[in-house]
Structure formats: structure tokens, C-alpha cells
Amino acid sequence: MIRGESGQTTAEYALVIVAAAVVALALIAWASDTDILPQFFESVVRRVKGLVQASG
């Protein structure tokens, strides 16, 4: 790496993290306005219970 590029790399990582946070916040805001998350978690719990009961 060239000596002056280390700060640029750090800034690029910071921008990627900020972009990922913005996307995550947008998804959370969208999901909280819908009934998707509770349904998703309920289906996951049902599937896990079914697997536990089938193996036990």
C-alpha cells in the first residue's frame, strides 16, 4: 500500500459501514410498519419446535 492511501482506505470502510447502517435502518423502519417481522419470527419458532419434536 502506498503511504498516503491508508487514510483513504479507512474512509472507504467508514462509508461502507455508514451505507450499511442506512440500509439497515430503512429495512427496520419498513418492517416495523408492516406485520412481517412478527410473522417471520413466529414461523421460525414453529419450525424449530417441529424439528425438536420430530427428533425427540
Cβ atoms of residues 39 and 45 within 8 Å: no
Q: 3-class secondary structure for the chain?
A: CCHHHHHHHHHHHHHHHHHHHHHHHHHHHHHHHCCHHHHHHHHHHHHHHHHHHHHC
pTM of structure? 0.54
pLDDT of the residue at 30 = 87
The ranges assigned to domains in the chain are 3-55
Q: pLDDT tens digits for 2-56?
A: 566 667 888 899 999 999 999 999 988 888 888 888 888 899 999 999 999 988 6
pLDDT of the residue at 3 = 60
